[in-house]
Amino acid sequence: MTKNLTIKNSTAEFLIFTTQAGKDNISVRVENEAVWLTQKLVAQLFECSADNISLHLKNIFQTGELDKNSVTEDFSVTATDGKNYNTKHYNLKAVIALGYRINSQKATDFRKWATQVLERYSVRGYVLDDVRLKNGAYLNPQYFKDLILEIRDIRESERNFYQQITDIYATAMDYDLDSNVTKDFFTTVQNKLHFATHDNTAAELMTKRADYQKDFMGLVTWKKAPNGKILKSDVVVAKNYLGRNEIKT
- In a shared domain, residues 157 and 134: no
Select from 140, 158, 185 the last residue of a domain.
140
Same domain, 212 and 129: no
Give the pLDDT of residue 236: 86
Q: Is residue 218 part of a domain?
A: yes
Shared domain for 125 and 193, answered yes or no, is: no
> Where in the sequence is the domain holding 159, given as residue range(s)?
148-248
Examine residue 2 and state whether it is found in any structural domain, yes or no: no
Mean pLDDT of the chain: 74
Q: Assess if residue 7 is contained within a domain.
A: no
Q: What angle do CA 169, 175, 179 make, to 5 degrees?
A: 110
Same domain, 41 and 120: yes
Residue 4 in any domain: the answer is: no
* Same-domain check for residues 74 and 187: no
pLDDT for position 61? 95
Task: Report how far residue 1's alpha carbon sits from residue 18's, in angstroms, rounded to the nearest whole number.
Answer: 13
Q: Who contacts 180 (Cβ-Cβ below 8 Å, separation ≥6)?
A: none
Number of domains in the chain: 2
User: 235-244 pLDDT, tens per residue?
Assistant: 888 888 888 7
Same domain? For 110 and 40 the reply is yes
Q: Indicate if 17 and 134 belong to the same structural domain.
A: yes
Strand partners, 14: 29
Full DSSP string of 188-223: HHHHHHHHHHHSS-HHHHHHHH--TTSGGGG-S--T
Give 66's pLDDT tier (boundaries 50, 70, 90).
very high
pLDDT value of position 60? 94
Confidence band for 113, pLDDT divided at 50, 70 and 90: confident
Q: 3-31 pLDDT, tens per residue?
A: 333 333 322 333 444 444 343 455 556 66
Do 30 and 59 belong to one domain?
yes
Give pLDDT, residue 147. 67
114-151 pLDDT, tens digit per residue, is 777 777 767 666 656 665 555 555 555 666 677 667 66
Residue 3 forms part of a structural domain: no
Looking at residue 13, its pLDDT comes to 33
| From 5-9, 32-36, 62-66, 212-216, the region with the lowest mean pLDDT | 5-9
Q: Among 115, 140, 165, which residue terminates a domain?
A: 140
Q: What is the pLDDT of residues 158-214, one digit of tens each?
A: 555 656 666 666 666 566 767 787 778 778 877 887 787 788 888 898 998 988 888
pLDDT at 56: 95
Please tell me whether residues 20 and 119 are part of one structural domain: yes
Which run of H or E residues covers position 182? Answer: helix 180-198
Of 92, 122, 140, which residue is a domain's last? 140
The answer to whether residue 52 scores a pLDDT higher than 80 is yes
Q: Are 17 and 84 part of one and the same domain?
A: yes
- Tell me, yes or no, whether 89 and 184 share the same domain: no
pLDDT value at 63 more than 50: yes
Give pLDDT, residue 35: 74
Let me know if residue 6 belongs to a domain. Answer: no
> What percent of the chain stands above pLDDT 70?
63
Q: Are 27 and 112 within one domain?
A: yes
Predicted local distance difference test score (pLDDT) of residue 114:
75
